[in-house]
Chain A
Amino acid sequence: MFLKDYIVDVYNGVASLLKGMRKTGYYFTHSKEIITEQYPDNRATLKLADRFKGEVVMPHDENNEHTCTGCTACELACPNGTIKIITKFDITPEGKKKKAIDAFIYRLEMCTLCNLCVAACPSDAIIMAPNFEHSVFDRSKLTKILNKPGSKIKEGIE
């Protein structure tokens, strides 16, 4: 009985080791599996993961319209005061006053890329973009205004 256990032990051990070696042997012989990105050389064709979080951006469509309502949910959600929203009041064609953003101030140097602002946004106005080449020569260049000049809110977004 003891001898049987012993032999089964040795057999299982060897089998599991060979399983591992088969996996690494597969990787060794299949160069298409290599995941290394040779970054500065392949800058044009660089492929980043979909989940990559580089900075917060506000997408604008072809009419220079965004979907930010200025609700400041992102500003409240931000744990370290990276986002500051300055609001203004637009006059609609009917003569009513409507709240809109004047400037969406985003301080990249303070951002921890925690994604809480994107999760908090009710109208999906901001997303995480896969840009990572952020170095600049002046710190003030890291304070960005996300809404483009002259942009306005898309119709039908409340």
Chain B
Amino acid sequence: MLSLESITKTTQDWLLAKFSPTMALTIECIIVILLCITLFAVLGLVLVLLERKVAARIQIRLGPNRVGPGGIFQTAADTLKLIMKEGLTPDTADKFLFNLAPFVVMMVAMLLLAPIAFAKNFQIWDINIGVLYISSVSSLSVIGILMAGWASNNKYSLLGAMRSGAQIVSYELSAGFAVLTIVVLTGSLQISEIVAAQQNGWWLFKGHIPVVIAFVLYIIAVTAETNRAPFDLAEAESELTAGFHTEYSGMKFALFFLAEYINIFIVCAIGATLFLGGWMPLHIGSWEAFNHIMDYIPSSIWFMGKTFFLIFVIMWFRWTFPRLRVDQLLNLEWKYLLPISLFNLLLVTVIAILGWYF
């Protein structure tokens, strides 16, 4: 059966047979880089179109419907426009940092792609501290945002960047605690082992109410971490024009825009891996026939389906809820999410020790 696993295996065997091991590794690296860039480009186009379509349907509009059938080439046309635009650098900006910032944000998004399991045995780097790696690297993106805001030499940019800094540093905590609940239950930081532990059911179902609470907290926290509405204070159009990327134009702006959507994809992929079983098909206890039917659906489709479901939920949030004020934002984190997640972690630890999960 043709699967991503068999394709990678055949490629590797062929490369090892033709070239020396070092050469084979180099070629594999190049292939992976090309695949990553392709994935980024495709994801950017698809997610922006999806967002616009979802937004339109929720606001009882039609959305883009002129470029191509049903408007599917709209984002491609927009990208073409952005490529042709001039990438302006303001006179008084810190030129080096200003031009570096979009690439820092983009690089962080690329690094986060490494430990994600896209399908069965289809993972770039199955590092044994995968979850720790994800949570530490994802906090680097705030540096890119602060860099952009500070180097722009513009009060709106600076305010947006400072807000974003306060926000990401705060919400990192409850996202970390939500991730920790799964680590406590699985007893491993490795992504592949976390997925393997959900062979007989996803953690969302196996872990009772505490895991459901952790899942909700995780979704809220990552919505804030990716700077999306209702937590988009960093770019609050009505107050700060565009926040930290006010001064950016052309392709540099597009990189920020792309990084936002890639980050959404990545946090949703991680959420799907931790709570919804990653590429693991839906298995219910001892229903053999049902489990077999579910196994026929390729694992990559399971993974993408779950990820896109979570992406849809986050988009649903964005087009339903009004934006929070800065003090409300910090109240929500420090007075509600953090105490709840601390208590929840304690509860999950008790459940894990006593073995009360299925």
Contact = CB atoms under 8 A, between A and B. Distances in A.
Interface string B32-69: 00000000000000000000001001111110010000
Interface string B317-340: 101110000000000000010001
Interface stretch (A19-27, A79-87, A108-116, A131-139): A19-27
A34 B61 contact: yes
A35 B62 CA distance: 8
B62 A36 contact: yes
Contacts of B103: none
Contacts of A23: 320
B57 A27 contact: yes
A38 interface: yes
A49 interface: no
Given A10-B340, A20-B320, A28 B61 contact: no
Given A10-B340, A24-B316, A17 B61 contact: no
A10 B339 CA distance: 12
What is the interface residue range for chain B against chain A? 10 to 19
A28 B62 contact: no
Contacts of B60: 27, 33-36
Contacts of B320: 17, 20-21, 23-24
Interface of B: 54, 57-62, 65, 316-317, 319-321, 336, 340
A10 to B, nearest CB: 6
B321 A28 contact: no
A8 B268 CA distance: 30
B224 to A, nearest CB: 14
Given A20-B321, A36-B62, 9 more contacts: A10-B340, A23-B320, A24-B319, A24-B320, A31-B57, A34-B57, A34-B60, A34-B62, A36-B61
13 contacts: A10-B336, A10-B340, A17-B321, A20-B321, A21-B316, A21-B320, A23-B320, A27-B57, A27-B58, A27-B59, A28-B57, A34-B61, A36-B61
B340 A28 contact: no
B62 A24 contact: no
Contacts of A28: 54, 57-58, 316
Contacts of B340: 10
Nearest to A23: B320
Contacts of B321: 17, 20
Most chain B CB inside 10 Å of its own CB: which residue of A10, A23, A34 = A34
Contacts of A10: 336, 340
The 6 closest A-B pairs by CB, nearest first: A36-B62, A24-B320, A24-B58, A28-B57, A20-B320, A33-B60
B309 to A, nearest CB: 13
Contacts of A35: 60-61
Interface string A38-62: 1000000000000000000000000
A20 B319 CA distance: 10
A69 B329 CA distance: 65
Contacts of A38: 62, 65
Contacts of A20: 320-321
A21 B336 CA distance: 21
A17 B340 CA distance: 18
Contacts of B58: 24, 27-28
Contacts of A24: 58, 316, 319-320
Nearest to A17: B321
A120 B317 CA distance: 49
Nearest to B65: A38
Contacts of B62: 34, 36, 38
Contacts of A34: 57, 60-62
A28 B65 CA distance: 17
A76 to B, nearest CB: 43
Interface in A107-156: none
A16 B316 CA distance: 15
Contacts of B65: 38
Nearest to A32: B60
Nearest to A31: B57
Contacts of A33: 60
Interface in A1-30: 10, 17, 20-21, 23-25, 27-28
B325 to A, nearest CB: 15
B331 to A, nearest CB: 11
